[in-house]
Amino acid sequence: MSTNTKASEPSSNAMLLLITRLHFYIGLFIGPFIFVAALTGTIYVITPQLEDVIYKDALTTQSVGENKPISQQIAAAKSQLTSDLTLFAVRPAPEQGDTTRVMFLDKEAELTGARALFIDPVTLEVKGNLPVYGTSGVLPLRTTLDFMHRQLLLGEVGRYYSELAASWLWIAALGGLFLWYKGGKKNKAEFASRTEHLRKRRRHYQVGLCLFVGLIFVSITGLTWSKWAGANIGTLRSSIGWVTPSVDRNLANDTQTIAASGEHADHLNHASHQNAPEKLPAEKFENIDLLFDGVLKAARDAGIDANKLEIRPSSTKDKAWRVSEIDRSWPTQVDSVAVDASTMTVTSRANFATFPIVAKLIRWGIDAHMGVLFGIANQIILAIFGLSLCFMIILGYKMWWIRRPQAGSTSRPLLQAWSKLSAAQKILTLIVTIALGLSLPVMGVSLLVFLLIDVVRWKRQ
């Protein structure tokens, strides 16, 4: 009886020590990356209003009157170009007093590769010429902050930093919760004499518990943008059918149109040849600018009613145009339709109301991560969360500094704790580690670095 108790106790203590050491390694080595991601993300989510002020002249107009046709607004934008750029999208003025964005592909546009000319829809005056980025159409200030948050302005190699932070954040959160649950009382008694350390530890726990759900949320949603883990997540979603429905831009033959919506949007609805709309002459495609107004009207007639929308033309005659709602606030308006520009008929549609619940949750999760879902309330919550996370990381470093190893002292390595686990626990931890390392490659590589450091420390001791 006593032998079993003594055998199980070291195993239990070894698991606690293993998670303690792993949590420490994450904080010590990954903490700076998480800190930078939290800080830059916080700055990003609190700056939409600042951007509106800085670029007010480009975004707004005082003109009052009837809007000119989109084709004329595009012509006004093109007249100001100094080089031949490819038009790839137009965002009509959402409301009176707003400008229209006529967007072009531009390799000279720093970071984004896209440029927008802001047109007064009433007077056709060009109000601004700025690089733009993403579905949210952020302008240079927030584009820089976005790329700082994502890649530290280092290009593709910089994406490893944010993926490293997102890969370990949820593990750090779960490990911290486990340590609080299993070791709180023991640590309180053990370090009762270390009042300063105990106070910081308790505050670190309290902040972590308050942020726990948010830590898991931003970690998972952040991973969806990552390079390696994001690709694996995309593959997993496809394999289990968690793909967000989208319109089919492949045009059917002359006697077919696609009318179904949602995840069945690609099913065909056969119509008689006599009732099929007449095809426009081929020469009409020579100037696609003239088709924008007709495509917009067809989309409006089909129920695309959001103020904020984007029209993307097709570069070939066998592809439909896409008109998408881009209002990702609450309630979300992200319906889209495909329009055959030769007949001005809707050939495919994707209605957000018919999306599977998982697709809706993914959409809402990403928008909440970006701070756009609930407007100013979303921004405030994320700002508090980001600053609290930075504070918790600083507390963690202070705790380490107070109890940092002195010269000549020893501490228990990670592998030493693992070696004392039971056989079943060793097998389980190996399986979980290999699975996570393959699913989250950046985390897997960094774990190997942890273990290499750990082996060196163990051998020295």
pLDDT digits (tens, 9 = 90+) for 78-98: 999 999 999 999 999 999 999
User: Looking at the domain assignment, is residue 147 inside a domain?
Assistant: no
Contacts 24+ apart (CB under 8 A), 426-433: 429/18
Q: Which residue has the tokens 């409006």?
A: 300
What is Dmax (Cα atoms) for the chain? 92
Statement to judge: residues 285 and 429 lie in one domain: no
Q: How many domains does the chain have?
A: 3
Distances (CA, A) of 139 to 40, 99, 111: 16, 14, 11
CB 105 within 8 A of CB 126: no
Statement to judge: residues 274 and 349 lie in one domain: yes
CB 412 within 8 A of CB 57: no
Statement to judge: residues 27 and 166 lie in one domain: yes
**Cα–Cα distance between 137 and 88 in angstroms, integer?**
14
| Domain span at 71 | 59-138
**Cα–Cα distance between 341 and 361 in angstroms, integer?**
33
Q: Of the given ranges (154-163, 384-393, 399-408), which has the lowest mean pLDDT?
A: 399-408
Q: What is the pLDDT of residue 317?
A: 85
Statement to judge: residues 87 and 168 lie in one domain: no
Q: What band does 203 get if pLDDT is binned at 50, 70 and 90?
A: confident
User: Looking at the domain assignment, is residue 242 inside a domain?
Assistant: no
**Cα–Cα distance between 403 and 358 in angstroms, integer?**
45
**3-state secondary structure (DSSP) of residue 455:** helix
User: Looking at the domain assignment, is residue 440 inside a domain?
Assistant: yes
Statement to judge: residues 186 and 272 lie in one domain: no
Q: What band does 210 get if pLDDT is binned at 50, 70 and 90?
A: very high
Q: What is the pLDDT of residue 303?
A: 96
Statement to judge: residues 202 and 279 lie in one domain: no
Span 58-76, mean pLDDT? 97
Statement to judge: residues 341 and 425 lie in one domain: no
Tell me how many degrees the CA angle 37-40-46 measures, rounded to the nearest 5: 130
Statement to judge: residues 72 and 14 lie in one domain: no
Please list the residues that pair with 333 across neighbouring strands.
Answer: 327
**Cα–Cα distance between 397 and 28 in angstroms, integer?**
7
Rounded to the nearest angstrom, the gap between the alpha carbon of residue 97 and the centroid of all alpha carbons in its chain is 30
Q: Out of 292, 320, 354, pick the residue that ends a domain.
A: 354
User: Looking at the domain assignment, is residue 51 inside a domain?
Assistant: no
Statement to judge: residues 40 and 165 lie in one domain: yes
Closest-CA residue to 373 (of 38, 94, 48): 48
Residue 26, phi then psi, degrees to nearest 5? -60, -45
Q: What is the pLDDT of residue 269?
A: 34
Span 224-253, mean pLDDT? 90
Statement to judge: residues 446 and 381 lie in one domain: yes
Q: What is the pLDDT of residue 393?
A: 96
pLDDT digits (tens, 9 = 90+) for 188-199: 444 444 566 677
Statement to judge: residues 91 and 165 lie in one domain: no
User: Looking at the domain assignment, is residue 264 inside a domain?
Assistant: yes
Q: Which two tokens stand for residue 452?
A: 């290499």
User: Looking at the domain assignment, is residue 113 inside a domain?
Assistant: yes
User: Looking at the domain assignment, is residue 171 inside a domain?
Assistant: yes
User: Looking at the domain assignment, is residue 429 inside a domain?
Assistant: yes
Span 264-269, mean pLDDT? 31
Q: What is the pLDDT of residue 286?
A: 60
| Beta-carbon contacts of residue 130 (< 8 Å; ≥ 6 apart) | 55, 58, 115, 116, 118, 139, 140
**Cα–Cα distance between 154 and 148 in angstroms, integer?**
8
**Cα–Cα distance between 411 and 221 in angstroms, integer?**
36
Span 218-222, mean pLDDT? 96
| Beta-carbon contacts of residue 64 (< 8 Å; ≥ 6 apart) | 96, 122
**3-state secondary structure (DSSP) of residue 119:** strand
Statement to judge: residues 9 and 78 lie in one domain: no
Tally Cβ neighbours within 10 Å of residue 149. 24
DSSP class per residue in 125-193: -EEEEEE-BTTTTB-HHHHHHHHHHHHTTSGGGGHHHHHHHHHHHHHHHHHHHHHHHHHHHHHHHHTTT
**Cα–Cα distance between 461 and 448 in angstroms, integer?**
20
Q: Which two tokens stand for residue 288?
A: 């696609």
